[in-house]
Amino acid sequence: MTDVYKHWRIERDNDSICWLYIDKADGGANVLSGAVLDELNAILDAIVASNPRGVVFLSGKANGFIAGADINEFVPLKEPADALALIQRGQRACDKIAALKCPTLALIHGFCLGGGMELALACRYRIADDDARTRLGLPEIKLGIHPGFGGTVRLPPLVGAPAAMDLMLTGRTVDARTAKKIGLIDYAVPTRHWKRAAREVVMNPPVPHRPKGWLKLTNNSLVRPLLARTMRAKVTEKAPIEHYPAPHALINLWQKYADDPVRMMQEEAASVSRFVLGDTARNLVRVFFLQERLKSLGKKDMIAPRHVHVIGGGVMGGDIAIWCALQGMRVTVQDRKHETLAKVIKRAHALYKKRLKQPRLIQAALDRLMPDDKGVGVSRADVVIEAIFEDILAKQNLYRDIESKLKPGALLATNTSSIPLELLAEALTKPERLVGLHFFNPVAQMQLVEIVSSKLTDPEVARQAAAFARHIDRLPLPVKSSPGFLVNRVLMPYLLEAVTLEWEGVPASVIDKAATDFGMPMGPIRLADTVGLDICLSVAEILAQRLDVDVPPRLRELVGAGRLGVKSGQGFYTYHGDKPQMPRVKPGYVPPPDIAERLILRFLNEAAACLREGVVADADLLDAGVIFGTGFAPFRGGPIHYIQESGVEAQRRKLGELEEHYGKRFVADAEWAEL
Ligand code: NAI
């Protein structure tokens, strides 16, 4: 029977237990493609006939269990009936597993996500490797859909509604310990024991897990409307229904049908097959592939960095060092000031506590991060990242000082946001070795790193820098060393337009709302306050020298008055901690009708200019960089994609109208003719 299948391997042992290994033939990770599911359906039919003692599902691959459904198969779907058939095929396989009379068990290591998690949920038991690499979850919501292989039906009764709905609505993943705590798995055991544990469960099946105490009541028909209301309110804050309909539909599905699993299964399939074809899911799937593309730009095996040396332990350098140590690097961090280095260690402790939780792991990460006021690490490091003041001479002097001390093949990178690399490289005898690794603030949250090349940068060095970004789990975006690179450049006109609007008398909160209604994660005024108005001003001034932008006097005025944003407690808004106090908008105030257009079209126009100038290699990379670097409404698929989807001509006409009203800052870039 084994040889017949391409993607599955079956072993039947002396106890008559079927060990069913998934090992997808033509891909790096196990995904539930149509072919994999067709084979599974056939295998399950054969298994029923052979009457085994138990069935254990496990993976034949080292990297994990099952990563989910095959997203590639979503892309060509056009007809609702085809989408429905695809979903129902997965449901059928899971239903067959659930219907097996013998004990069934999923033995999980590495990732167990989406459809893979749903397959595991169809089993009677789940055991996971308690290794740090184990991640379980249902991240479908991040693709604009919700679970569709029975997950919405099986998870709430297993773990109770609060945990189930939280997992499905946020798409977050959990480790084996948390999974055990909430009841998503039955046991978390080390790999060396797990086959024995699986055999034990099959031979002496315990009572399957069910939620205890008050959790039992959370799926009750009287309780559901109340819980659903709270969930809806929470979801609406982050994912308004107009932009992200799937989480709202998921809540409705559960509220309406949780008492009727058969009907709920049908409704689940119908709902997912509708969303799969919708704009939000199409664009979020696009974002998923863009992310894969960015990942593929850094080939990890090109370099084997172990030691990173960061010079400058301020806002950025400190956080870069902290991040690199979290990712397993040995890190030395150098600063002229002792107290700055002490602050770095304090910040590291806070982040590691939050992310790593276990004292043993926290201590190990702290041990990897070493304050180094003498700069001893320079000559030992595989990667040296400079993040000192934004000052040409200071940076050049530093390079002169350290160049001869560097290890021969070591990577030398600068985190500069605005100084052309050509200028900085003048201080080096080998200018070709300088590359930009432009991180964003806050480093631990911003996934993107711009890999900046000047005309002098050796392309091989840039590729190594991209590989390094992957080693520390960041997304590399190769960009040209031109003013503002990509992300700051497209953001700046949009931020400055917001400042202008505010100066014209539009309340800041009204401006921000126009942007968040469009789908931005944060309004531009609040973003400027968060980045720091002094930093905005300095980037704006640098861009103004080299590009055709005017810096609104209002920005200088605020910085001059010491109102720097969140960090000084006052900027456009007044802050308590990092929460702004929103002044009330006067009753009866009627905002101008073109706020969103003014903001977004300046953004889009600058994106078009970057494409024309070749700041990045192509339109997809531009969209990817802008989404991951600025949070540009992901469900719109990126600025260039949005221009094309919403109509190049229509958008260009609007730009023309704005130009008539407001002048040359709205002149359409020449690239519009090419779009
Ligand atoms: P910062 O002022 O917070 O930190 C600079 C640190 O460098 C200070 O702690 C200072 O003591 C230290 N330093 C200066 N000269 C030194 C030397 N010769 N040797 C050792 N240490 C020295 O500045 P921040 O904001 O961290 O910026 C650093 C770099 O990162 C700049 O190039 C900036 O353009 C860039 N950047 C800043 C971002 C931000 O949001 N702040 C974002 C992305 C890049």
CA of 406 to the centre of ligand 1 (A): 21
pLDDT at 250 over 60: yes
Structure tokens at 284: 């979020």
pLDDT (mean) for 304-333: 98
Residue pair 585/592 in contact by the 8 Å Cβ criterion:
no
Amino acid at 387: A
Q: Residue length, the chain?
A: 675
Overall average pLDDT of the 485-492 stretch: 96
Positive or negative, the CA dihedral 661, 662, 664, 670 is negative
Q: What does the pLDDT read at residue 3?
A: 56
Ligand 1 atom with minimal separation from the 318 CA: 26
Contact in structure between 460 and 429 (CB atoms under 8 Å): no
Q: Which two tokens mark 59?
A: 């993976």
Give yes or no: 118 in active site.
yes
CA 594 to CA 620: how far, in whole Å? 28
Is 40 exposed, middle or buried (CB count within 10 Å of its CB: 0-12, 13-18, 19+)? buried
Alpha helices for 547-594 (secondary structure H): 553-560
Residues 88, 591: Cα–Cα separation, whole Å: 48
Percent above pLDDT 70 for the chain: 100
pLDDT recorded at residue 4: 83
- Distance, CA of 421 to CA of 453 (rounded, Å): 7
What is the mean predicted confidence (pLDDT) over 451-464?
A: 98
Domains and CATH numbers, the chain: 8-277 (3.90.226.10), 300-481 (3.40.50.720), 488-674 (1.10.1040.50)
Instruction: Give the per-residue pLDDT at 547.
Output: 79
| End-to-end Cα separation, the chain, in angstroms | 55
Q: How far apart are CA 644 and CA 283, in angstroms?
A: 13
User: How far apart, in whole angstroms, are the C-alpha atoms of residue 198 and residue 60?
Assistant: 16
Coil, helix or strand for 487? helix
Give the Å distance between the CA of 317 and the centre of ligand 1.
Answer: 6
| Coil, helix or strand at residue 194 | helix
In testing the pocket of ligand 1, which one of 309, 315, 437, 533 has its CB within 8 Å of the most ligand atoms? 315
Q: For residue range 28-56, what is the model confidence (pLDDT) as tens digits?
A: 899 999 999 999 999 999 998 999 999 99
**Mutational test site, ligand 1, from 333, 386, 417, 536, max ligand atoms within 8 Å of CB:** 417
Residues 6+ apart with CB under 8 A from 185: 108, 126, 127, 128, 136, 176, 179
Q: How large is the C-alpha radius of gyration of the chain?
A: 27
Residue whose CA lies nearest to ligand 1 atom number 25: 315
Report the alpha-carbon distance of residue 89 to residue 110 in Å, rounded: 25
For the Cβ of 413 lying below 6 angstroms from any atom of ligand 1, the answer is: no
Confidence of residue 638 (pLDDT cuts 50, 70, 90): very high
What ranges in 100-140 are assigned the alpha helix state H? 115-122
Contact 290, 623 (CB under 8 A): yes
- Residue 578 has what pLDDT? 82
* Tens digits of residue pLDDT in 493-504: 999 999 999 999
- Per-residue pLDDT, averaged over 279-306, amounts to 97
* 73-131 residue pLDDT tens: 999 999 999 999 999 999 999 999 999 999 999 999 999 999 999 999 999 999 999 98
What Å distances lie between residue 175 and 59, 461, 489, 543, 580, CA to CA?
A: 18, 36, 38, 44, 34
Torsional sign, CA 523, 527, 530, 532: negative
Mean pLDDT on 268-276? 97
Q: Ligand 1 center to residue 632 CA distance, Å?
A: 27
Pairing of strands 369-371, 330-334: parallel
Tokens 């990732």 — which residue? 111
Distance CA 511, CA 503 (A): 11
Which band of pLDDT confidence, cut at 50, 70 and 90, is reported for residue 191? confident
User: Which residue from 98, 37, 41 is spatially nearest to 68, judged by alpha carbons?
Assistant: 37
Tokens standing for residue 65: 């269990």
Cβ–Cβ under 8 Å, residues 288 and 278: no
The active-site residue, picked from 11, 39, 73, 118, is 118
- Decide: helix, strand or coil at residue 474: coil
Distance 533 CA to ligand 1 centre (A): 16
Cα gap 472→419, rounded to integer Å: 25
Whether 637 shows a pLDDT value over 60: the answer reads: yes
Within 204-337, where are the H helices? 224-238, 245-257, 261-276, 279-296, 315-326
Check the CA dihedral 536-539-545-548 and report its sign: negative
**What are the tens digits of pLDDT across the range 66-82?**
999 999 999 999 999 99
Q: How far apart are CA 44 and CA 100, in angstroms?
A: 9
Nearest atom of ligand 1 to the alpha carbon of 389: 5
Closest CA to 541 of 524, 559, 526, 525: 559
Residue-wise pLDDT tens digits, 324-340 = 999 999 999 999 999 99
Of residues 57, 50, 70, 72, the one with CA closest to residue 23: 57
Q: Is the CB of 488 under 6 A from ligand 1?
A: no
What are the phi and psi torsion angles at 448 (to 5°)?
-85, 145
Query: DSSP string of 564-610?
Result: -BGGGTBSSSEEETTEEE-PPPPTT----TTHHHHHHHHHHHHHHHH
Whether the predicted pLDDT of 237 surpasses 80? yes
Q: Where would I find the H helices in 277-403?
A: 279-296, 315-326, 338-356, 359-368, 392-402
Q: Give the number of other Cβ atoms within 10 Å of residue 222's Cβ.
A: 7
CA nearest neighbour of 631 among 446, 417, 442: 446
Structure tokens at 578: 């990092």
Is 140 a residue of the active site?
yes
Using the mean position of ligand 1's atoms as its centre, give its distance from the Cα of residue 544 in Å: 22
pLDDT of 549 reads: 82
The atom number, within ligand 1, closest to the CA of 395 reads: 18
Catalytic residue among 39, 73, 140, 504: 140
* Statement: residue 2 has pLDDT above 70: no
| pLDDT mean across residues, the chain | 96
